[in-house]
Amino acid sequence: MAVAKTALQIRLPPLPSIKDVIKLYKLRALRELSQNFLMEPRLIDKIVRASGNIQNHTVCEVGPGPGGITRSIIRQAPKKLVLIEKDPRFLPSLELLADACRDKVDVDIITGDILKTDLSQFIPSDAKVHWLDPPPPVHLIGNLPFSVSTILIIRWLEMISKHEGPWLFGRTRMTLTFQKEVAERMAARILDKQRCRLSVMCQSWCTVKYNFDIPGTAFLPKPDVDVGVVTLTPLKHPIIKLPFKLTEKVVRQIFSMRQKYSIRGAQTLFPEEVREEVALKMYNIADIDPVTRPFQITNMEFARLCEAYNDIIKQHPEFEHYDYRAPKNKNNLINAEEVNIECNM
Ligand code: SAM
């Protein structure tokens, strides 16, 4: 009979509660750093469990703050833990945790901005696997600051597309929190009212798993919105097999007029004098009905539209750098305003 493997757990010595740590070190939450501390141990453990088995793995935690999630990660016995925290006031409480597990987990505390940190330098080279293999023993976990979460995920998707940073090591998984609305957009399928550019970009490069919600009341201070916990696993083969920037441009323009026929947005990929004719050609090549609305287009159909756009700019390189938003003349400015109002990331 097979014997179930029991996961090794690290027992931390008695530590002050997170509430006491906040009091002890006078860690008043700073709004400018989107500091909302998760106070419920049950939900903290649920986030860490959602990331799967992390025993003996390398975990990078973004924005550990006073260390609630960090404690839960340590208990799961990772081999290495990298903490990236912008606010140096949290150093003493994080050092306390590093000390408490000194002989069991190798903890690196980095005081810095995640948007400027190359995480690959902290990941051991022996963690590397082939891209087509199952994901490597490396995880990114974080209750992300709202102020950087969307920028960060777009930046990480681009790195995934190039197999850079933590994705030099293979299909590194991420379990992250987002404002509920952003998490819903990431996971939204066709016909969903939340479907937008972010949905297509995330789903082209990753499997998006919406794990569960956390009510705003579980945080201190309470944010205005609830939070969604999402796990992203990079796909072996992206759905849209074209450069990230090109894909982003096509998907952004198509969604720029969300409620209109999608070809209206696609027309803005081309200069005014030719846009109706060339956008129609793009839709014909892709075999998509021009009156389809953006949220009715599947990921595979977006792939065909991006391929068709790529064919067109190969034939007409002069269109490649056309930017509808560049204020060249009065006409352009009026149109750009229309795009800004209707654009929904
Ligand atoms: N992990 C803690 C928890 O769950 O209670 C704190 C989460 S709080 C929402 C976000 C954390 O990210 C804060 O500790 C904040 O200081 C940190 N932070 C904000 N901007 C950051 C950035 N650009 N790079 C790294 N950390 C950042």
What atom of ligand 1 comes closest to residue 115's alpha carbon? 23
Site to substitute for ligand 1 among 71, 86, 113, 229, most atoms within 8 A of C-beta? 86
Interval between CA 69 and ligand 1 midpoint (Å): 11
Classify domain 2-234 by CATH number: 3.40.50.150
What atom of ligand 1 comes closest to residue 117's alpha carbon? 24
Q: What six digits make up the tokens of 188?
A: 């939204």
Tell me the three-class secondary structure of 124-186, residue by residue.
CHHHCCCCCCCCCCEEEEECCCHHHHHHHHHHHHHHHHHCCHHHHHCCCEEEEEEEHHHHHHH
Helix (H) / strand (E) containing 26? none
Interval between CA 281 and ligand 1 midpoint (Å): 47
Each of the 345 residues of the chain gets a pLDDT tens digit; together they read 444 455 688 998 888 888 888 888 888 888 888 889 999 999 999 999 999 999 999 999 999 999 999 999 999 999 999 999 999 999 999 999 999 999 999 999 999 999 999 999 999 999 999 999 999 999 999 999 998 999 999 999 999 999 999 999 999 999 999 999 999 999 999 999 999 999 999 999 999 999 999 999 999 999 999 999 999 999 999 999 999 999 999 999 999 998 899 999 999 999 999 999 999 999 999 999 999 999 999 999 999 999 999 999 999 999 999 998 887 654 444 343 333 333 344
Q: Is the backbone of residue 239 left (phi > 0), alpha (psi -120 to 50) or beta?
A: alpha
Distance CA 297, CA 17 (A): 49
Which residues line the annotated binding site for S-adenosyl-L-methionine?
36, 38, 63, 85, 113, 143
Using CB distances shorter than 6 Å, the residues near ligand 1 are 33-38, 62-65, 68-69, 84-87, 113-115, 143, 145, 148
Which residues line the annotated binding site?
36, 38, 63, 85, 113, 143
Q: What six digits make up the tokens of 204?
A: 């082209």
Distance CA 203, CA 188 (A): 9
Q: What six digits make up the tokens of 202?
A: 């995330």
Interval between CA 14 and ligand 1 midpoint (Å): 24
- For ligand 1, atom 11: residue with the closest CA: 63
What's the pTM value of the predicted model, to 2 decimals? 0.92
- For ligand 1, atom 6: residue with the closest CA: 65
Q: Are strands 80-85 and 106-111 parallel, antiparallel or unpaired?
A: parallel
Q: What six digits make up the tokens of 36?
A: 């909302």
29-38 b/e (C-beta count within 10 Å ≥ 16 → b): beeebbbbbb
Interval between CA 291 and ligand 1 midpoint (Å): 43
Interval between CA 306 and ligand 1 midpoint (Å): 36
Provide the greatest CA pair distance for the chain: 77
Interval between CA 33 and ligand 1 midpoint (Å): 7
The domain made up of 244-343 is a member of CATH 1.10.10.10: no
Q: Which phi and psi angles does 7 have, rounded to 5°?
A: -70, 140
Cα dihedral: 243, 244, 247, 253 (round 10): -140
Question: How far apart, in Å, do the first and last CA atoms of the chain sit?
Answer: 52
Q: What six digits make up the tokens of 70?
A: 């960090």
Q: Where are the domains of the chain?
A: 2-234, 244-343
Beta bridge partners of 325: none
